[in-house]
Chain A
Amino acid sequence: MTDQRSQAEIVRQSLKRRYRKERRFRAYGVIAIAIALGALLTLFTDIIGKGYTGFMKTTITMDVQLDGEMMYLDDPTDERQIKMADFVEPLVQSLIKEIPGASEENRKQVRELINPYASVELRDALKANPEWLGTTQTMTFLSHTDVDVYVKHAGDDAYSIKLNDQQKAWVEELQERGVIETSFNDVFFSGGDSRDPSKAGILGAIVGSLLTMFVTLILSFPIGVAAAIYLEEFAPQNKFTDFIEVNINNLAAVPSIIFGLLGLAVFINLFGMPRSVPVVGGLVLTLMTLPTIIISSRAAIKSVPPSIREAAEGIGASKMQVVLHHVLPLAMPGMLTGSIIGMAQALGETAPLLLIGMVAFIVDVPDGFFDSATVLPVQVFLWAGSPELAFIERASAAIMVLLTFLISMNALAIWMRKRLERRW
């Protein structure tokens, strides 16, 4: 009896210790998750906090008097006259009229408030509407980047304000009167890169990314799936197959910049393909994505229960019919999930693309697979390294766009897995 009681006692004591251990173990897990979530939260608040201003533009709205004499222009349909005409003067004169206390002597300072590209916009507007000559039109132009920075970041030490006190006072006055306004930055989504931060957009990079991804997808998915099916279903079990398997796994671990070097050496130097084009980018990313797709597709094929295979074979289906009718449909969700994750990885890849020249400064939105292009992560890289601080918020905004793409791709992968997954 005494023995038994003491045993119960021992168990009770050890129980206490066990409970303590379990609580501690759980606490470790909670801490780990808290750290991970904290890192994520910091990342997002930092990027969003710095970058949301990238989605805003500063504009100047004013009545522009389109005086032919002032512009040295009497026929806006004449190409030569348009080329020679002065489109800066009407802008400067109009803005001087908007600023109380400014006069002809301040014209240089006033001119520095207007975006250098505004005169181009005015020219294009007049070319499109020749009847405007001699009238006064209410028009909206981008402000100079220095004004943009001042409006958004006045009082922030991180940004150097290049306006002088006189100009600052004018900008504040104009803001109060509603001449200078901030609004949603449509320029950011409708243009290519530019030397002028206010004019810079990511459409070129988005289109470049889409073209590159398209090439990657149509090459890597069929090749990857075919390789996985062959290795899993048809390859003989021998040393050579093992060798291939090991090397596919090795490829998955090769740093991506090496693939860039390979692309440079093979596609550009050997095959003589052009630099900076989405086709070469897509080929390089295909090489990089293939191991991921092969490995995940093989896992998906392996997870098809052998009983299904046996059932089909037992009825007399040939190897090919077993694969096409039964194994592939059942493995498809897993293959697609793996491919989407591989594509998401490729979308965020920068290093290999730097080596094949997709890091060039490209203003135009690419209009084909053989047109010079850049991609989103490279655009982020370019802007983040640029000396103008106004580019930093654009870089953050581009990161947000990139993250949106990545998160939606991963969400699609999860949704597809849930949706297509079959149970048996």
Chain B
Amino acid sequence: MNTVNTTITSEVGQPEEAVVPISDEKPAETVIEEGKTVGKPFADDPKFKLRDVDVFYGDTRAIKKISLDIGRNEVIAFIGPSGCGKSTFLRCLNRMNDSIDICSVKGSLHLDDHDIYDPKRDVVELRARVGMVFQKPNPFPKSIYDNVAYGPRIHGLANRKSDLDEIVENSLRKAGLWEEVKDRLDANATGMSGGQQQRLCIARAIAVSPEVVLMDEPCSALDPIATAKVEELIAELSESYTIVIVTHSMQQAARVSHRTAYFHLGHLVEVNETNKVFTSPEHELTESYITGRFG
């Protein structure tokens, strides 16, 4: 595939309409105006209010002036070609980038009017409110019970054993895992299948009752059946949580999300209702991507 290496410089009218299969021809050059996002990036009563966000890795500018609102109990999907910055942007939302020394974040990021990057605010509190599920299932090498109970324990959410048992059971039920594991809560979590592990990670994330769950390509390491189960789970969770999901699968984005944001080379190109993005994209880059011209 010829691809994204066209750092788009000058506007040369419309892209060629003809289907360009594998060829040496470069795709049409398009300008992305910095900070300009087509579609509906803003909402009335947002959970996250993100304005003019810039992320630097050393001297490299990985995120370029992105502004976006994420609504309450909304499932928003971030899509885009590899290296477009969608994971980086996701990790800004619970400051997972903090542990990378050379990474710096500029702009204003608010969660319910609280500044996420306020140096006075403890990141621990933020992460209790904004949970995260990672690309590769990463259960602790402990028992299933301890995996789920870990978050509530360190945050002191349960004082009695019975409370903790209840939290564990509820979380596992919400993650659709309870029936499969209720008889072996003491078994080591690393002995489970990949799909079960990932659902366990989701259970672990929701055990601390977060308001938002961030998911970074949660299904990329799973087989189709496990993927279907996780997607089902996301749909159920969306009733009570705000979910931000990064995915490489456009079908997945189309299936689970309410809104879809398309990222390109650090720019947020287009945000809109999912069906609109996939049926009538407004930006030509979005269109090229979803029709499989690159990515």
A residues with CB within 8 A of B: 236-237, 305, 307-318, 321, 325-326, 330, 422-424
Contact = CB atoms under 8 A, between A and B. Distances in A.
Given A307-B136, A315-B127, 7 more contacts: A314-B131, A314-B205, A315-B128, A316-B123, A316-B155, A325-B150, A424-B141
A316 B134 contact: no
Contact of B128 (A312, A316, A325): A316
B141 A307 contact: no
Given A307-B136, A424-B190, A315 B141 contact: no
16 contacts: A309-B99, A310-B96, A310-B134, A311-B138, A312-B150, A313-B99, A314-B96, A314-B131, A314-B133, A315-B128, A316-B123, A316-B154, A317-B150, A325-B150, A423-B190, A424-B141
Given A318-B124, A326-B140, A424-B141, A311 B201 contact: yes
A307 B208 contact: no
Given A237-B101, A311-B140, A326-B140, A316 B96 contact: no
A66 to B, nearest CB: 72
Interface string B85-129: 000000000101001010000000000000000000001111110
Contacts of B195: none
B141 A330 contact: yes
Nearest to B98: A313
B57 to A, nearest CB: 14
Interface in B178-232: 190, 201, 204-205, 208
Contacts of A325: 150, 154
Contacts of A313: 96, 99, 127
Contacts of B205: 314-315
Max chain A CB contacts within 10 Å: which of B126, B131, B138, B201? B138
B146 to A, nearest CB: 10
B158 to A, nearest CB: 14
Contacts of B126: 316
A243 B52 CA distance: 39
Nearest to A236: B101
A314 B132 contact: yes
Main secondary structure of the interface of A (DSSP, over half): helix
B125 to A, nearest CB: 8
B137 to A, nearest CB: 9
A325 to B, nearest CB: 8
A119 to B, nearest CB: 67
A310 B138 contact: yes
A317 B154 contact: yes
Contacts of A316: 123-128, 151, 154-155, 208
B176 interface: no
B80 interface: no
Contacts of B134: 307, 310-311, 314
Contacts of A236: 101
Interface in B133-188: 133-134, 136, 138-141, 150-151, 154-155
Contacts, number: 65
Contacts of B124: 316-318
A317 B155 CA distance: 8
Nearest to B134: A310
Contacts of B128: 315-316
A312 B140 contact: yes
A417 to B, nearest CB: 16
Given A321-B154, A326-B140, A422-B141, A315 B131 contact: yes
A313 B124 CA distance: 8
A342 B101 CA distance: 33
A253 B151 CA distance: 44
A177 to B, nearest CB: 70
A382 B138 CA distance: 57
Contacts of B132: 314
Nearest to B201: A311
A316 B208 CA distance: 9
Contacts of A315: 127-128, 131, 150-151, 154, 204-205, 208
A325 B149 CA distance: 13
A305 B138 CA distance: 9
Contacts of A311: 134, 138-140, 201, 204
A290 B188 CA distance: 35
Max chain B CB contacts within 10 Å: which of A236, A308, A424? A424
A305 B139 CA distance: 11
Contacts of A317: 124, 150, 154
Contacts of B141: 308, 330, 422, 424
B151 A307 contact: no
A276 B154 CA distance: 50
Nearest to A237: B101
A305 B136 CA distance: 12
Contacts of B138: 305, 307-308, 310-311
A315 B138 CA distance: 12
Contacts of A423: 190
B169 to A, nearest CB: 18
Nearest to A307: B138
The 3 closest A-B pairs by CB, nearest first: A316-B127, A307-B138, A314-B132
B257 to A, nearest CB: 21
Nearest to B150: A315
B218 to A, nearest CB: 12
Max chain A CB contacts within 10 Å: which of B96, B126, B151, B154? B154
Contacts of B133: 314
A315 B141 CA distance: 16
Nearest to B188: A422
Max chain B CB contacts within 10 Å: which of A309, A315, A317, A422? A315
A308 B154 contact: no
A70 to B, nearest CB: 78
A314 B140 contact: no
Max chain B CB contacts within 10 Å: which of A308, A311, A314, A317? A314
A374 to B, nearest CB: 45
Contacts of B201: 311
Nearest to A314: B132
A321 B155 CA distance: 11
A312 B133 CA distance: 11
